[in-house]
Amino acid sequence: MKRYIMAAIFCAGIVVGITCGAGTMLWLGTRISAAQKNSSKVILENEKVRVKEAIFVPGDKKPGMHTHEYPHVGVAIDGGTLKFNYPDGKTETLELKAGGAGYREANVTHEAVNMGSKSIRVIEVEIK
């Protein structure tokens, strides 16, 4: 009987441990993904160009408007679908293919929203 009680307590402990562990992992997973935001970092700058790496993460549905000070070329490293929201209410959805490039004039203001399930990475070369 003692063995049976010890085995039951052991099994109950395993079940509780797995349940609590899984619950904690799920909770942390939603907290981490909810905290991810689009990012942009300068990787090279001189008097002629500014080169930035922009990462658009899925789930950042309201990243906010930003303005590009200079004309620039964007090269998609990791492609996907971006929806651009403009201050006048217009929208534009683009399918970025890995290795594809695009050009934008200076002083463009927009908000870029990743419509897919994977991060999109773009190298932007701003021409000063």
CATH number at residue 115: 2.60.120.10
pLDDT value at residue 9: 54
Residues 11 and 29 in one domain: yes
pLDDT value at residue 35: 59
Domain span at residue 1 reads: 1-35
Contact predicate 51/43, CB 8 Å: yes
Count: domains in the chain: 2
Report DSSP state, residue 17: H
Map residue 23 onto helix, strand or coil. Answer: helix
CB atoms < 10 A from the CB of 38, how many? 19
Instruction: Note the pTM of the prediction, 2 decimals.
Output: 0.71
The tokens describing 96, both together, are 């970025």
Residues 24 and 43 in one domain: no
Residues 18 and 50 in one domain: no
Residues 79 and 31 in one domain: no
- Give 75's Cβ-side CA count (13 Å radius): 7
Residues 91 and 116 in one domain: yes
| Residues 75-118 pLDDT 10s | 999 999 999 999 999 999 999 999 999 999 999 999 999 999 99
Cα–Cα dist 97/120, whole Å = 10
pLDDT value at residue 2: 58
